[in-house]
Amino acid sequence: MSQSVVTMTELVLPHHTNTLGNLLGGQLMHWIDICAALAAQKHSSRTCVTASVDKIDFHHPVKLGEIVTLIASVNRVFTTSMEVGVKVHTESYIQGTKTHSNSAYLTFVGVDGAGKPVPAFPVIPETDEEKRRYDEALVRRDARLSARKTLS
């Protein structure tokens, strides 16, 4: 799992903010999708496409001038899909603060040259934290599949 980790750092500039001076939610979602896609591609050595965005929690507003660090890694691989978790921290160098501001779970699928899904390499959780994320990914997947079945 640790080999799929991708870290991105962004500076919140005026064109990233709303009228309150807070980072636009859509901008953060864009950064989350890119970071997660890179982790999926790093893990699978393939082009990966977003299949779903499970959940994005906005815990704290992110302000103009703050530094946003996104850390993504593959939590679990199923047949052709993989869950990627992204943790977002914001930091103010001026105030000397660092805050966990957001979390997200996305599902990606690796595809071949024709855009068809292909099986992905399994992940091997090693640490207690990785094992927890691995187990929780299955619970989230079961919930997604159950919700899909209910809607059908």
In CATH, the number for domain 2-151 is 3.10.129.10
Q: Is the pLDDT of residue 2 over 90?
A: no
The per-residue pLDDT for 57 is: 80
* Long-range contacts formed by 139-143: CB under 8 A, 24+ apart: 140/54, 140/83, 140/105, 141/76, 141/78, 141/83
The per-residue pLDDT for 62 is: 95
- Residues 47 and 40 sit within 8 Å (Cβ to Cβ): no
Going by DSSP bridges, is the β-strand pair 97-111/47-58 parallel, antiparallel, or unpaired?
A: antiparallel
pTM for this structure? 0.92
Q: Is the pLDDT of residue 11 over 80?
A: yes
For the stretch 4-33, what's the b/e string if a residue is b when 16 or more beta carbons lie within 10 angstroms of its beta carbon? bebebebebeeebbeeeebbeeebbbebbb
pLDDT digits (tens, 9 = 90+) for 85-101: 999 999 999 899 999 99
Q: Is the pLDDT of residue 12 over 90?
A: yes
Average pLDDT rounded to a whole number, residues 74-84: 96
Any idea where the domains of the chain sit in the sequence? Answer: 2-151
